[in-house]
């Protein structure tokens, strides 16, 4: 399976535009013969934009596909003179990111997610005695819910509630409204830039994104840990796991792909390559997998220790899987979700878990589905092994690409039969 499905079937005239000049934002090494290799600063001529992710381009008289997110439109000569590098102005897209957290929509979604919010409440409640007189930092406090739980359910000496978005103004009001202003200090700042008068005993944050890492808020948490957590202090969450399972996704496949087989008695199959490009090249967020659609026992493929994880580790995180199929069916893809654990402040105390998988109460993250280009029939006893890699985008720091490589060994066919596949899914770029 190619990394960019069906690229081979695309021609130069699909999505034609008159050639435009672009500049490479970063080095890129093509993975196959149809992909270009170029260096940061190279000028590329883009001939066609057949998809939003991959463009048909030319560099040094070589033609091939280039990832759109590595390119930026070339400025005029005058504009270019004033530029000292090719990097975008805001690789973290902070304006857009913190802008969205300055409105209520996301906070309503998060606070309405009872499993998520109650898990944090439970962490505070079950550690209330040990939190007495402790100093807490709530990184990315949003409306201040976790800080308010701390102030109401325990007796910390101080909670620094750090929030970069304009929501912080309202958070201050909420803290006052609930009589917690003696304990909770709201600081409107990016956590990376905040100055605290002291180190903290506990660093709590709700930083998890789709597929655990998307948005990479975790980097801010790791930087704050290194700056502000006292030696021996506690991280909440303390660890995180990404879980994967091979699965069926009949209704999604029917809805997006099989639909084109015979709508109204007509053969629309020439649209299937387009359907694959449009619906299956990116993961499906907000997927709710039925436990019955799991073809094997789910397995943790990536484990993160929040005490030892380093910012540089985030560039590429790899895991392996080996599934034994325990249900016959159509292997349509992989579904991923995450679980985080909160260690107790007391030695031997109970750990609290927030599990976003199909066997737990649904959360607003739901699960993430990665569709194969074509389903593969599998039988009980077959094995599906391979690797997963989360590659952080070198330019757009909140984005990543999830690459999956797998091989399927059949247990039933007399001759050794192994089907292999590989596919990369940009989230978002």
Ligand X SMILES: C[S@@+](CC[C@H](N)C(=O)[O-])C[C@H]1O[C@@H](n2cnc3c(N)ncnc32)[C@H](O)[C@@H]1O
Nearest Cα to 30, choosing from 427, 428, 424? 424
Q: Which of 126, 165, 339, 424 binds ligand X (CB under 6 A)?
A: 165
Task: Determine which helix (DSSP H) or strand (DSSP E) holds 408, and give its type and residue range.
Answer: strand 400-409
CB atoms near residue 392 (< 10 Å): 19
Q: Does 190 bind ligand X (CB under 6 A)?
A: yes
The single residue of 53, 163, 206, 219 carrying the catalytic annotation is 206
Residue nearest to ligand X (CB): 140
Q: Does 140 bind ligand X (CB under 6 A)?
A: yes
For ligand X, the closer CB: 126 or 410 = 126
Structural Rg of the chain based on CA atoms: 24
Give the span between the Cα atoms of 331 and 253, in whole angstroms.
Answer: 11
For ligand X, the closer CB: 201 or 219 = 219
Are the C-beta atoms of 54 and 4 separated by less than 8 Å? yes
User: Minimum distance between the CB of residue 230 and ligand X, rounded to whole angstroms?
Assistant: 20
Nearest Cα to 156, choosing from 177, 138, 176? 138
User: Minimum distance between the CB of residue 183 and ligand X, rounded to whole angstroms?
Assistant: 16
User: Based on the number of CB atoms within 10 Å of its own CB, is 133 exposed (0-12), middle (13-18) or buried (19 or more)?
Assistant: exposed
Q: Does 186 bind ligand X (CB under 6 A)?
A: no
Torsion over CA of 127, 211, 400 and 278, rounded to 10 degrees?
Answer: -150
Q: Does 161 bind ligand X (CB under 6 A)?
A: no
Q: Does 285 bind ligand X (CB under 6 A)?
A: no
Check if 215 is active-site. yes
Please provide the size of the chain in residues.
429
User: Minimum distance between the CB of residue 236 and ligand X, rounded to whole angstroms?
Assistant: 11
Footprint of ligand X on 199-258 (CB under 6 A): 206, 217, 220
Of 139-147, 250-258, 297-305, 370-378, the window that binds ligand X (rule: CB under 6 A) is 139-147
Query: What single string gives the DSSP state of each residue in 188-240?
Result: ES-TTT---SS-EEEEEE---BTTBTTT-THHHHHHHHHHHEEEEEEEES-EE
User: Minimum distance between the CB of residue 95 and ligand X, rounded to whole angstroms?
Assistant: 12
Q: Which of 142, 333, 358, 375 binds ligand X (CB under 6 A)?
A: 142
Check if 109 is active-site. no
Of 1-9, 158-166, 302-310, 338-346, the window that binds ligand X (rule: CB under 6 A) is 158-166
Task: Determine which helix (DSSP H) or strand (DSSP E) holds 285, and give its type and residue range.
Answer: strand 284-287
User: Minimum distance between the CB of residue 186 and ligand X, rounded to whole angstroms?
Assistant: 11
Are the C-beta atoms of 124 and 150 separated by less than 8 Å? yes
Give the span between the Cα atoms of 243 and 58, in whole angstroms.
Answer: 40
Of 71-79, 187-195, 234-242, 305-313, the window that binds ligand X (rule: CB under 6 A) is 187-195
Footprint of ligand X on 101-120 (CB under 6 A): 101, 110-111
Of 21-29, 51-59, 140-148, 235-243, the window that binds ligand X (rule: CB under 6 A) is 140-148
CB atoms near residue 58 (< 10 Å): 16
Q: Which of 66, 150, 158, 164 binds ligand X (CB under 6 A)?
A: 164
User: Minimum distance between the CB of residue 162 and ligand X, rounded to whole angstroms?
Assistant: 5
User: Minimum distance between the CB of residue 243 and ligand X, rounded to whole angstroms?
Assistant: 20
Nearest Cα to 196, choosing from 181, 206, 185, 182? 185
How many Cα atoms sit within 13 Å of 25 on the Cβ side? 19
Footprint of ligand X on 69-98 (CB under 6 A): 98
Catalytic residues: 206, 215
Residue ranges in contact with ligand X by CB under 6 A: 98, 101, 110-111, 140-143, 145-146, 162-165, 167, 190-192, 206, 217, 220
């Amino acid at each position: 399976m190619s990394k960019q499905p069906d690229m081979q079937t695309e021609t130069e005239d699909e999505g034609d535009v008159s050639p435009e000049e672009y500049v490479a934002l970063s080095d890129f090494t093509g993975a196959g013969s149809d992909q270009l290799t170029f260096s940061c600063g190279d000028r590329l001529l883009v001939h066609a934009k057949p998809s939003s992710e991959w463009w048909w381009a030319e560099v040094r008289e070589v033609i091939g596909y280039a990832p759109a997110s590595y390119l930026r439109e070339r400025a005029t000569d005058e504009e270019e003179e004033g530029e000292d590098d090719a990097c975008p102005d805001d690789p973290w897209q902070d304006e857009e990111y913190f802008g969205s957290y300055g409105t209520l929509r996301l906070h309503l979604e998060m606070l309405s997610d009872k499993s998520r919010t109650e898990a944090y409440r439970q962490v505070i409640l079950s550690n209330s005695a040990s939190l007495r007189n402790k100093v807490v930092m709530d990184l990315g406090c949003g409306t201040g819910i976790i800080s308010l739980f701390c102030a109401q359910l325990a007796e910390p000496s101080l909670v620094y509630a750090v929030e970069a978005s304009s929501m912080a103004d309202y958070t201050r009001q909420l803290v006052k409204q609930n009589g917690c202003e003696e304990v909770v200090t709201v600081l409107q700042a990016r956590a990376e830039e905040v100055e605290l008068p002291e180190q903290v005993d506990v660093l709590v944050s709700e930083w998890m994104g789709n597929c655990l890492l998307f948005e990479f808020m975790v980097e801010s948490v790791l930087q704050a840990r290194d700056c502000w957590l006292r030696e021996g202090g506690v991280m909440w969450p303390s660890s995180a796991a990404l879980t994967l399972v091979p699965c069926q996704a009949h209704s999604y496949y029917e809805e997006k792909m099989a639909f084109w087989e015979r709508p109204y008695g007509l053969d629309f199959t020439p649209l299937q390559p387009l359907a694959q490009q449009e619906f299956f090249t990116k993961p499906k967020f907000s997927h709710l997998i039925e436990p019955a659609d799991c073809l094997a026992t789910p397995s943790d493929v990536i484990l993160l220790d929040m005490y030892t994880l380093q910012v540089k580790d985030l560039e590429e995180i790899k895991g392996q899987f080996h599934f034994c199929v325990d249900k016959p069916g159509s292997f349509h893809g992989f579904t991923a979700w995450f679980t985080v654990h909160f260690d107790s402040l007391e030695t031997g105390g109970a750990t609290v878990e927030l599990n976003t998988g199909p066997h737990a109460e649904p959360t607003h993250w739901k699960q993430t589905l990665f569709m194969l280009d074509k389903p593969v029939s599998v039988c009980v006893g077959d094995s599906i092994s391979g690797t997963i890699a989360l590659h952080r985008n070198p330019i757009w720091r909140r984005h990543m690409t999830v690459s999956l490589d797998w091989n399927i060994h059949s247990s039933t066919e007399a001759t050794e039969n192994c089907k292999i596949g590989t596919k990369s899914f940009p989230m978002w770029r």
